[in-house]
């Protein structure tokens, strides 16, 4: 009996071992390729549809990002939503939405063309610090930020970086997931490297752009490699610096590719022709995902064979990943910086601004600002933080001004003068988009030339004023130039005291601008301006003036006016309504039609029956990397002639 039982056991045991033996483990390898890497999503989608399990993931650069997110539970569908809803232009820069920038930092937004660190103790090492991409990866990996062993993720994961110090491949399987993905895509010079101890980590594509050996070492029995690299260009396309630089990058990334593909069960090469590492447009993303699906389906028989080798499995993902909407958060820079701005204006011809910004986190920020041109100044200021939302600002500005003043299109005065202003301002920022301030200033003017027409008002040679003001500012505009949504409101009350005559004047000013989308890429932008002076005989420096199509006011109180490219004087009570119709076309180009209607008077009870000023303009604008380029054709009843205005560069 015992012999029979033993015989049955020996007969059954092999079948039992076969039945309980572990299934084959599948690993996928995702190459780098910049924007072309979104094609990985299409391939993964096909693997999901075929119910092929994914047990290990290894990736490089964009492949590390796609693979890392998939390893923690994001599905191919969710990954597609993420890449489509992300503003890649903002993400792959250090740019932050204007509405996220708190006061008092809004004024410095989009003002300087170039910025250079000064004795900066931080580690940059790249044109782009990558703050936005780091924020996004941190946000997307919420729930796994404390995981330090990538083998313990829902799908074990590894990514590749290059250690510049040792000139070796760095396989990252431990640490912080978001930082590992960020290190793997740090294209040198473009993005700052990740500094980890004595290691300086950059894009892994320089050493291994398709890390097949890594996923094999992790335990994969079956390996699927997905390659989104471009093909090498022929001689006809290697005539430019950009073309040669791109070819060198491809040569480096493909150097070990032929050798590595020998240990692969399925090699899926995606057709990425006509696309490059920066092809992040919506149309490109849609096409690349579809091409990824097509590449996987072209290998259908191979993938079906893999599925049969693996056997029937339950490949449903336990998906707990969320889909947050990402908005880059503003992080004030503590770097000491030298910033430079340039602009050309058909009124002032040319101007340059130089800013030295010295930050000390605990003791505040000091600035030195110099502007060269017809309106030149040197300003020094110090911002002292009292608490997180409160500031005290001390400043002194001395400037030389050479201004033409017009009346009904006729030049009546050309004041040239030195102005020196010392200010003390207290600011509180109760919310990101709101600033309230009170301040006092000592304002000195010395005139050298004033009168060119008998219609002009004579000005005193010297003036000294002690002024007090309170301001309320609120702004949610999405951009400083060519905004497409948001609200802007400024309200101020100022008292001017002539210390020579002990005469006091005051003014109340307001501006409200609201943007209304009325159709796709078409916006109506109404603005209401008003400024009321509550005394007679206010000095020239503080009187009401209008004019200026662009962003170049000569006076703080100057009100822009469509149709007038120069500065016109008005009476002491001024109300102005402007409406703009703006249409966006071809990504960064704009067509604008604008109209203005103003009334001005010296007496309140006759205000609405005051003198009328109207103007209109038609213009083209281009939102270029070096600042707005705008040209306007203008007409107003103050000049009764067509005029042209051109601006190139940021406002300052």
CB atoms under 10 Å from CB of 429, counted, come to: 19
Q: How confident is the model at residue 630 (pLDDT cuts 50, 70, 90)?
A: very high
- The pLDDT tens digits for 304-340 are 888 888 876 665 555 545 555 555 666 666 667 888 8
Q: What's residue 259's pLDDT?
A: 56
In angstroms, the CA 156 to CA 132 distance is 26
Q: Per the confidence metrics, is the pTM higher than 0.95? A: no
pLDDT at residue 14 is higher than 60: no
The set of long-range contacts for 460-465, using a CB threshold of 8 Å and a minimum separation of 24, is: 460/500, 460/539, 462/500, 463/498, 463/500, 463/539, 463/541, 464/498, 464/499, 464/500, 465/496, 465/497, 465/498, 465/499, 465/539
In angstroms, the CA 613 to CA 568 distance is 11
Q: Are 28 and 57 in contact (CB under 8 A)?
A: yes
Contacts of 96 (CB under 8 A, 6+ apart): 90, 132, 328, 329, 330
In angstroms, the CA 21 to CA 434 distance is 66
pLDDT at residue 238 is higher than 80: no
Which of 455 and 437 is assigned the larger pLDDT? 437
Where in 432-521 does DSSP place strands (E)?
434-451, 462-475, 486-498, 503-519
The β-bridge relationship of strands 376-387 and 390-402 is antiparallel
pLDDT at residue 552 is higher than 50: yes
Per the listing, tokens 């004030």 go with 332
Q: Please tell me the least confidently modeled range out of 237-246, 273-282, 318-327, 612-621.
A: 318-327
Q: What's the token pair of residue 535?
A: 């005394």
- The pLDDT tens digits for 29-82 are 999 888 889 999 999 999 999 989 999 999 998 999 999 999 998 999 999 988
Q: Please tell me the least confidently modeled range out of 6-15, 89-98, 186-195, 478-487.
A: 6-15
Q: How confident is the model at residue 382 (pLDDT cuts 50, 70, 90)?
A: very high
Instruction: Report CA torsion sign: 158, 130, 361, 471.
Output: negative
Q: What's residue 599's pLDDT?
A: 93
Q: How confident is the model at residue 467 (pLDDT cuts 50, 70, 90)?
A: very high
- The pLDDT tens digits for 276-295 are 877 888 889 999 999 999 99
Q: What's residue 205's pLDDT?
A: 81
Residue (of 580, 593, 561) closest to 406 by Cα position: 561
- CA-based end-to-end distance of the chain: 102
Q: How confident is the model at residue 522 (pLDDT cuts 50, 70, 90)?
A: very high
Q: What's residue 12's pLDDT?
A: 45
Q: What's residue 320's pLDDT?
A: 47
Q: What's residue 187's pLDDT?
A: 77
Contacts of 626 (CB under 8 A, 6+ apart): 113, 342, 648, 649
Mean of pLDDT values over 1-22: 49
Q: What's residue 540's pLDDT?
A: 80
**CA dihedral of 251, 253, 258, 263, whole degrees rounded to 10:** 180
Q: Are 582 and 558 in contact (CB under 8 A)?
A: no
């Amino acid at each position: 009996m015992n012999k029979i039982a033993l015989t049955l056991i020996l007969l059954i045991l092999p079948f039992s071992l076969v039945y309980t033996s572990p299934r084959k483990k599948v690993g996928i390898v995702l190459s780098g390729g910049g924007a072309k890497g979104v094609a990985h999503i299409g391939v993964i989608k096909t693997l999901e549809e075929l119910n092929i399990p994914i047990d290990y993931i290894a990736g490089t650069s964009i492949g590390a990002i796609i693979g890392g997110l998939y390893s923690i539970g994001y599905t191919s569908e969710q990954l597609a939503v993420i890449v489509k809803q992300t503003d890649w232009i903002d993400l792959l820069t250090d740019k932050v939405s204007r509405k996220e920038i708190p006061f008092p930092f809004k004024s410095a937004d989009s003002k300087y063309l170039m910025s250079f660190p000064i004795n900066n103790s931080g580690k940059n090492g790249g044109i782009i610090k990558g703050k936005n991409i780091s924020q996004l990866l941190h946000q997307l990996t919420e729930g796994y930020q404390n995981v330090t062993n990538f083998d313990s993720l829902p799908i074990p994961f590894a990514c590749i970086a290059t250690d510049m110090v040792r000139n070796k491949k760095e396989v990252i399987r431990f640490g912080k997931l978001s930082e590992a993905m960020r290190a793997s895509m740090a294209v040198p010079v473009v993005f700052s490297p990740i500094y980890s101890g004595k290691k300086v980590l950059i894009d892994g594509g320089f050493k291994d752009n398709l890390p097949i050996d890594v996923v094999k070492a992790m335990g994969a029995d079956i390996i699927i490699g997905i390659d989104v690299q471009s093909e090498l260009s022929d001689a006809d396309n290697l005539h430019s610096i950009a073309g040669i630089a791109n070819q060198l990058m491809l040569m480096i990334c493909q150097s070990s590719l032929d050798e590595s593909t020998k240990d692969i069960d399925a090699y899926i090469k995606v057709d990425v022709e006509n696309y490059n590492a920066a092809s992040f447009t919506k149309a490109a993303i849609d096409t690349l995902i579809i091409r990824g699906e097509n590449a996987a389906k072209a290998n259908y028989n191979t993938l079906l064979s893999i599925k049969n080798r693996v056997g029937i499995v339950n490949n449903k993902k336990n998906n707990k990943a969320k889909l947050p909407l990402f908005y880059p958060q503003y992080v004030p820079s503590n770097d000491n910086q030298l910033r430079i701005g340039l602009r050309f204006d058909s009124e002032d011809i040319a101007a340059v601004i130089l800013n030295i910004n010295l930050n000390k986190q605990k003791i505040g920020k000091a600035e030195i600002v110099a502007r060269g041109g017809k309106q030149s100044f040197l300003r020094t200021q110090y911002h002292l933080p009292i608490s997180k939302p409160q500031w005290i600002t001390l400043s002194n500005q001395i400037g030389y001004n050479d201004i033409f003043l017009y009346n009904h299109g006729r030049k009546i005065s050309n004041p040239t003068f030195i102005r020196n202003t010392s200010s003390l301002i207290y600011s509180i920022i109760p919310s990101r988009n709101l600033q309230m301030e009170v301040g006092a200033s000592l304002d000195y003017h010395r005139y050298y030339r004033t009168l060119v027409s008998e219609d002009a008002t004579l000005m005193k040679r010297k003036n000294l004023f002690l002024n007090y003001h309170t301001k309320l500012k609120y702004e949610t505009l999405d951009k400083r130039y060519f905004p497409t949504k948001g609200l802007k409101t400024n309200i101020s009350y100022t008292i001017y005291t002539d210390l020579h005559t002990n005469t006091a004047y005051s003014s109340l000013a307001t501006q409200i601008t609201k943007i209304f989308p009325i159709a796709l890429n078409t916006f109506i932008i109404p603005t209401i301006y008003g400024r009321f002076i509550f005394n007679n005989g206010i000095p020239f420096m503080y009187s009401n003036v209008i004019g200026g199509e662009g962003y170049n006011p000569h006076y703080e109180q100057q009100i822009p006016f469509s149709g007038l490219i120069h500065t016109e004087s008005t009476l002491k009570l001024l109300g102005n309504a402007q409406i703009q119709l703006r249409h966006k076309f071809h990504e960064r180009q704009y067509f604008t039609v604008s109209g203005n209607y103003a009334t001005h008077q010296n007496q309140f009870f006759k205000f609405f029956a005051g003198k009328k000023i109207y103007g209109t303009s038609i213009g083209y604008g281009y939102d270029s990397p070096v600042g707005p380029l705008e040209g306007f054709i203008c007409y107003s009843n103050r000049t009764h002639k067509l005029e042209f205005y051109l601006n190139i560069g940021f406002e300052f």
